[in-house]
Structure 1
Amino acid sequence: MKLIIRTYKLQLKHPFTISRGTRTEIPSIIVELQENEFSGFGEATANPYYNTFVEQFEEELLEKRVIIENISDKTPKEYWDYLYPYFKNNMFLLCALDEAYTDLYTRKKGIKLYQYWDLKPKNIPQTNFTIGIDTIENMVSKMTETSWPIYKIKLGTKDDIQIVTELRKHSNSIFRIDANCGWDVTETVKNSVELKKLGVEFIEQPLPADNWRGAKVVFDNTFLPIIADESCIIESDIEKCYNHFHGVNIKLMKCGGLTPAKRMITKAKSLGLKTMVGCMTESSVGISAIAHLTPLLDYVDMDGALLLKNDVATGVKLVNGNILFSELNGTGAQIKE
């Protein structure tokens, strides 16, 4: 098996602002694992909040090339277990390798990934489209530019309720709110009252990730469901979220890939938590991997490639919120030449 590394700077269509800051480009590394005529692709994007950088990814991949290339006859789960001791301190990179190997493995079998998992892509959730923090005029303009059945609206400003009130005047679509740790307990409970009146479906990660005591107070008093994101990173966090959140947003890069994400979904369901998988502004490589988990999910946030000027890959297509799978096997992703 041969490792091929590609790095990119994914340019965003619009400056993307959340409560922590603004980004205009997303550095990305795409991993290809090649065996004979087959290739599998995986991706990790840099994220300052999690202290991850593409230069670090590339250096570690080159350093551990022999470990990565050494084995190609294991199942995806066995390969993930094999890699974990070497990459347990870099879940983003482990994710890229897990996606690539899983893609390669299922392509060699001549099947799509969801078929390997014995899933059927029927009645799967629609994806939302994200509107970053901006002036109200610009946020309305973004909604007009991309008419969509579900919007995720980034908040964390002093004018949050006013923003949603104004946006609601321009759309009857479902609204989801993501405060990215930008609120306190009192603010969250109070906002949940007003946001419910405005037809909001749920609130994602209103409090700082480590405020578990506050999360419990919010859980007991909110008027809307609360979904964990920054508080739900790895597999052991699922049980922590029980009775503190109504659901979890699992990110493949944070947990180490498709293999642990699927286990996290199963655990969350067993605890009665709603399940969601979110993206971290990947190209169609990372987005196509997410798509195969949708038969297991209540919600999905996989609009990352739609936010880009220069998607470097093809794969799953998103049309008015609906997910259209690629005709290719595996995850269906393919690098643009």
Structure 2
Amino acid sequence: MELIIRAYDLKLKHTFTISRESIDFQPSLIVELKSEGFSGFGEATSNPYYNTTVPVMTEDLNKIRSIIEDSDGETPEVFWNKMHFHLKEDMFALCALDMAYNDLYARKKGKKLYEYWNYTIENNPLTDYTIGIASIDKMVSKMKELPWPIYKIKLGTHEDIAIVTELRKHTNAIFRIDANCGWGVEETIRNAIALKKLGVEFLEQPMKADNWEGHKEVFKHSVLPIIADESCIIEEDVAKCHNHFHGVNIKLVKCGGLTPARRMIQEAKQLGLKTMVGCMTESSVGISAIAHLLPQLNYVDMDGALLLAEDIANGVTIKHGKITYSELNGTGVVLK
């Protein structure tokens, strides 16, 4: 098996702002695994919040290149366990590798990844489309630019209720709110009351990740469901979120790929938590991998490639929130 590593700077259509940062380009690492005439692709983006860069991921993968290339033919679960031993300090690199291996493995089996997992796709949820923090006029113009059935709105400002009130005047779409750790306990409980009246479906990670007492208080008193994001990073975090959140948003790059994400989804279901998978601002390589988890999810946020000025790959397509799979096997990805 051959390992090929590529680095890209993904240009965004618009400056993307959340409560922590603003970006115009997203550095991204693409892993390709080649074997027996097949190629599998995986992706992980850089992320300052998690101290992850493309050069570090590249270095970490190159350190174990021979181990990776000698591991052809193992099941994805065996492969992930072996790679986790070497990459436990770099879950982003592990994600790109695991994603590529799952893709390659399914292609060798002659199946789409969801078929290999025995998932059925009849009841797949629609994806939301994210509106980053900007002036109200710009946020309205972004919504008008792409009419959508569900919007995920980034908040964490001093005018959050005013923003949503104004946006509501321009669409009947479902709203989801992501404050990216920007609120406090009383603020979250108070905002939930106003936001429910404005047609908001749930709040995602309103408070700092480690504020577990605060999360418990909000869980008891919020009139809207609360979904964990920054508080649910790896497999061990799912159980912690029980009785502190109503659901979990699993990010593949944070947990180390598709293989652990599938286990996290199952554990969340057993605990009665709603299941969601979210994306970073990534290309169709990462987005197409997420698509194969859809049958197991209540909600999904996989609009990353829609935010790009130019995609580097073809894979799943998304129209008005509905995902259509590629005709190709595996995740269905081809680099342009």
Same topology, TM > 0.5: yes
2:51 is aligned to: 51
- Residue by residue over 1:157-207, the C-alpha shift from the partner in whole angstroms, topping out at 9 and shown as x without a partner, is 000000000000000000000000000001000000000000100000000
The aligned counterpart of 1:113 is 113
Q: What residue in structure 2 maps to residue 94 of structure 1?
A: 94
1:191 aligns with 2:191: yes
Give the distance between the partners of 1:40 and 1:159, measured in 2 at CA: 45
> Which residue identity is paired with 2:299?
Y
**Corresponding residue of 2:298:** 298
Q: Spell out structure 1 runs of 4+ moving beyond 4 A.
A: none
Equivalent position SS for 1:172: coil
Partner of 1:288: 288
| Equivalent residue runs for 1:133-152 within 5 Å | 133-152=133-152
Residue 36 of structure 1 and its aligned partner are, at CA, apart by 2.3
Q: Structure 1, residues 234-289: CA drift from partner, whole Å, max 9, x if none?
A: 00100000000000000000000000000000000000000000001110000000
User: Which residue in the other structure is 1:320 paired with?
Assistant: 320
Write the mapping of 1:120-135 to structure 2, written as runs, cut at 5 A.
Answer: 120-135=120-135
Which whole-Å CA distance do the structure 2 matches of 1:65 and 1:238 have between them? 31
SS of aligned partner of 2:181: coil
Structure 2: runs of 5 or more not aligned: none
TM-score between both structures, scaled by the size of structure 1: 0.99
2:60/2:87 contact within 8 Å kept: no
Q: How many residues align?
A: 336
5+ residue gaps, structure 1, are: none
Q: Summarize the alignment of residues 1-337 of structure 1 with structure 2, pairs less than 5 Å apart.
A: 1-336=1-336
Partner Cα distance (2:224, 2:60) in 1: 42
Cα-to-partner distance string for 1:55-110 (whole Å, 9 max, x where unaligned): 11111222211011111111111110111100011000100000000000000111
For 2:196 and 2:58, how far apart are their aligned partners in 1? 45
CA offsets per residue over residues 122-171 of structure 1, 9 Å max, x none? 11100000000000000000000011000000000000000000000000
Amino acid at match of 1:287: I
Distance (whole Å) between structure 2 residues aligned to residue 70 and residue 157 of structure 1: 50
Q: Distance in 2 between the 1:74 and 1:37 partners? A: 17
Q: Which amino acid in 1 is paired with 2:210?
A: D
User: Following the alignment from structure 2 to structure 1, what is the Cα–Cα distance between the partners of residues 44 and 232?
Assistant: 18
Q: 2:330 and 2:11 mapped to 1: Cα distance?
A: 27
Secondary structure of residue in 2 paired with 1:33: strand
Amino acid at match of 2:47: N
User: Offset of 1:121 from its aligned partner?
Assistant: 0.8
